[in-house]
Amino acid sequence: MIDIHSHILPNVDDGVQNINDAIKMLQIAVQEGVTTQVITPHIQANRFENNLKELTRLFEMFRITVEAEEIPIKLHLAAEVHIGPQIIQMIETDTLPWLGTWNDQKCFLLELPPNDIPSGTLNLIQWLRTKQITPILVHPERNRAFQKNPAKLQPFLNAGCPIQITSSSILGGFGKQAKQLAIELLTEGKVDLMASDCHNLEYRPPNLGQGINAASKIIGDTQAAKLANAPALKL
């Protein structure tokens, strides 16, 4: 399985804060069945001022440590990019940490605020699509605006945004509303990817395998497996 969303790089955001916990989290990911772990630190103006150059440096150091521990997992660097004008700047300067390609177009993880949908969001997405860039919308089931009115997600689907839900959502870790919307989206065939979005060992651990197992009971083994091995995605 490929886990496309995690916060395991130590001390760069609100995820793992030390190397020992990071190693433990990768070991748990392996136990969950993950063979490729994508490391996706937050990039958010005025909160997580990460940049591609520094993240790449820290990631390469981290990868050397992981290899020395002989953990059987492949690592890949990308980012979870919060909605904002900095996205345009990063694209124009070629400093956006790409996840890879989605149906042969460059793609990245796009995060919205937890409570609303900022004005201009769809305009930005439409601009990205004209540039042959595919934003993957992460954990919409945790967004309160979508929870109150799931129909608000349809324009994003119409614009060509793949949808990624969080494994903990389907397991109930983000509350009843997030679980309900995650199940609804799965049942309607609107989910393209599932990821752990793991942050720590205590309450947001690597649990992608558990999430895929839960999804299997809703949409069947074959469709659930695609959520962690999306054929349209190439890292």
Structural domains of the chain in order of their starting residue, each with its CATH number: 5-234 (3.20.20.140)
Per-residue pLDDT tens over the stretch 128-162: 999 999 999 999 999 999 999 999 999 999 999 99
Helix axes 52-68, 19-32, angle to 10 degrees: 70
pLDDT by residue for the chain (235 residues), tens digit each?
A: 999 999 999 999 999 999 999 999 999 999 999 999 999 999 999 899 999 999 999 999 999 999 999 999 999 999 999 999 999 999 999 999 999 999 999 999 999 999 999 999 999 999 999 999 999 999 999 999 999 999 999 999 999 999 999 999 999 999 999 999 999 999 999 999 999 999 999 999 999 999 999 999 999 999 999 999 989 999 9
How many residues are recorded in the chain?
Answer: 235
Instruction: Give the sign of the dihedral formed by CA 225, CA 3, CA 96, CA 82.
Output: positive
The pTM assigned to this predicted structure is 0.97
State how far the Cα of 100 lies from the Cα of 97, in Å rounded to an integer. Answer: 9
- At residue 69, the pLDDT reads 96
pLDDT computed for residue 57 by the predictor:
98
Secondary structure in 3-state letters for the chain = CEECCECCCCCCCCCCCCHHHHHHHHHHHHHHCCCEEEECCEEECCCECCCHHHHHHHHHHHHHHHHHCCCCCEEEECCEEECCCHHHHHHHCCCCCCCEEECCEEEEEEECCCCCCCCCHHHHHHHHHHCCEEEEEECHHHCHHHHHCHHHHHHHHHCCCCEEEEHHHHCCCCCHHHHHHHHHHHHCCCCCEEECCECCCCCCCCCHHHHHHHHHHHHCHHHHHHCCCCCCEEC
The end-to-end CA distance of the chain, in Å, is 13
- Over residues 38-48, the pLDDT tens digits come to 999 999 998 99
